[in-house]
Amino acid sequence: MSNPSLLILPGDGIGPEVMAEVKRVIDWFGDKRGLAFDVSEDLVGGAAYDAHGTPLTDETMAKAQEVDAVLLGAVGGPKYDNLDFSVKPERGLLRLRKEMDLFSNLRPAQCFDALADFSSLKREVVAGLDIVIVRELTSGIYFGEPRGIIKEGNERVGINTQRYTESEIDRVARSAFELARKRGNKVCSMEKANVMESGILWREVVQKVHDEDYPDVELSHMYADAGAMQLCRWPKQFDVIVTDNLFGDLLSDAAAMLTGSLGMLPSASLGAPMANGRPKALYEPVHGSAPDIAGQGKANPIACILSFAMALRYSFDQGDEAKRIETAVEKVLADGLRTADLIGEEGVEPVSTRQMGDAILAALDASL
């Protein structure tokens, strides 16, 4: 039987630096746990534009469709700001999401105890936080038609259309319920059914999916604006939150900052199952390319390493090994190691990207 396959797309800015540490972790699992992967690497974003004049070649897109999972670093940077919209680095990532039909975006918000004081909220509010927001990723107001800026009389009008089909809501709801069964068995669905017809349909379809196929999972409904307030008031009341593209974009960014640093947060974008039963999947850190610190060894590799942990859990059924990585990260943080983005008080000396990778590998060794 062949090894599972991974396509690594380091991208731009700090992407190659944080991905270098992920590759060391991947090698560790091959050497120490007998969990080997067939790894290939290619270009995306600005790096692909520099080499090929496009943010994603057809050949790379074809590779992404064939492998078991894609790991992506980050894309973009100011040097590409003046490019035509069609070839901006971000178009490469959007093409991957669209053509792989990655409709379910999982964004965990987990607060390690060692970083609870780094959050802007009180320690008792965020310590031990472990929630996941499931954001629908391929429909909604970002994709609906009609859209554009038109002229009406003597003024311009901007138009975006919020549009969802029953099947689009159904499949992301199932993704959330399946995830909840592996966690706290609780889902909160968020929309604006009080003022939006798409919200009414969303609530009806989620409830129908629950009643017919997931009655064992606790389901609640909440208006998205109230959900934003509750995330700041007492986020630990939630386990899995499922919501649409726009609200998911806003709520997941708000939840991200509960943990103190974007440098800590991974994400997974999942699609329909392939022939081997695994979902099409792309894993990436939530943070951007941070070109201002690129090449300086200051980047935090933890979010990218935790993205690989998500790949182990959701693409390769290796939940115990994913937990091994998460526990190693927790130990390193508890030991006081901090990259520059996690320095909250004077007198603490930050470690480099490589040193953080070294420490996590040492903690993995100690777990054996």
The reply to whether 314 belongs to the active site is no
Residue 316 is labelled as binding a ligand: no
Residue 182 is labelled as binding a ligand: no
In this structure, the chain runs to a length of 368
Residue 341 is labelled as binding a ligand: no
Cα–Cα distances in angstroms (integers) from residue 283 to residues 85, 280, 317, in the given order? 24, 10, 15
Distance CA 186, CA 237 (A): 10
Residue 335 is labelled as binding a ligand: no
Residue 297 is labelled as binding a ligand: yes
The reply to whether 225 belongs to the active site is yes
Edge-to-edge strand ranges of the sheet holding 104-110: 38-41, 5-11, 69-74, 279-285, 266-273, 104-110, 130-136, 240-243, 186-191, 218-223
Of the residues 23, 50, 113, 142, only one is catalytic, namely: 142
The reply to whether 320 belongs to the active site is no
Residue 79 is labelled as binding a ligand: yes
Residue 181 is labelled as binding a ligand: no
Residue 239 is labelled as binding a ligand: no
Residue 253 is labelled as binding a ligand: yes
Of the residues 27, 101, 113, 253, only one is catalytic, namely: 253
Residue 87 is labelled as binding a ligand: yes
Residue 296 is labelled as binding a ligand: yes
Of the residues 192, 214, 239, 314, only one is catalytic, namely: 192
Residue 110 is labelled as binding a ligand: no
The reply to whether 192 belongs to the active site is yes
Residue 56 is labelled as binding a ligand: no
Residue 97 is labelled as binding a ligand: yes
Residue 7 is labelled as binding a ligand: no
Cα–Cα distances in angstroms (integers) from residue 294 to residues 121, 288, 353, in the given order? 29, 11, 11
Of the residues 12, 42, 239, 249, only one is catalytic, namely: 249
Distance from chain centroid for Cα 237: 21
The reply to whether 253 belongs to the active site is yes
Residue 294 is labelled as binding a ligand: yes
Of the residues 113, 213, 225, 358, only one is catalytic, namely: 225
Q: Which long-range contacts (CB under 8 A, 24 or more apart) does 352-356 make?
A: 352/297, 352/298, 353/14, 353/17, 353/18, 353/20, 353/21, 353/297, 353/298, 353/299, 353/300, 353/301, 354/21, 354/297, 356/21, 356/300, 356/301, 356/302, 356/332
Annotated binding site for NAD(+): 77-90, 288-300
Annotated binding site for substrate: 97, 107, 135, 225
Annotated binding site: 77-90, 97, 107, 135, 225, 249, 253, 288-300
Which residues are part of the catalytic machinery?
142, 192, 225, 249, 253
Annotated binding site for Mg(2+): 225, 249, 253
